[in-house]
Amino acid sequence: MVDRSPDRLDTVFQALSDRTRRGMLQRLAQREHCVGELAEPFDMSLAAASKHIQVLERAGLVRRTVQGRRHRVRIDAHPLHAGAEWLRHYERFWNARLDALAALLEADATTAPPKRTGRKPRR
């Protein structure tokens, strides 16, 4: 079931608003990583990477498991469905508006008198 509550959607979009977190999700879509592996391409400390991961966890976008001293992180894409559904609503809205505009322009082009070329005659 998709959680469509406004607070949950706000949390997901807030988590996705940061380039580093989007990059982490992109890497996690390939496979599970430990925190150090996620921090590596972003040239950040483990503490900074952990803070980003916590934001993603609060949004429900990742799950962390602890194996000894290693924290393994994997993606959970379910919360993304609510965001995609919200965006699809506006995609349909704008597609309908653009289709209506195209129809108006097409109708106008077929009923408009031909444009005159050249200059107006002088009096």
Domain count, the chain: 1
Residue 115 inside a domain? The answer is no
Residue 119 inside a domain? The answer is no
CATH number at residue 35: 1.10.10.10
Using alpha carbons, list the distances in angstroms from residue 46 to 40, 57, 67: 9, 16, 17
DSSP at 43: T
E runs forming strands in the chain: 33-34, 62-67, 70-75
101's torsion region: left (phi>0), alpha (psi -120 to 50) or beta? alpha
Mean pLDDT of the chain: 88
Digit-coded pLDDT (tens) for 16-65: 999 999 999 999 999 999 999 999 999 899 999 999 999 999 999 999 99
Cα distance between residue 105 and residue 120, in whole Å: 27
CB neighbourhood size of 56 (10 A): 26
Residue 21 inside a domain? The answer is yes
Residue 103 inside a domain? The answer is yes
Q: Which domain holds residue 81?
A: 1-110
Q: What is the pTM of this model?
A: 0.72
Residue 88 inside a domain? The answer is yes
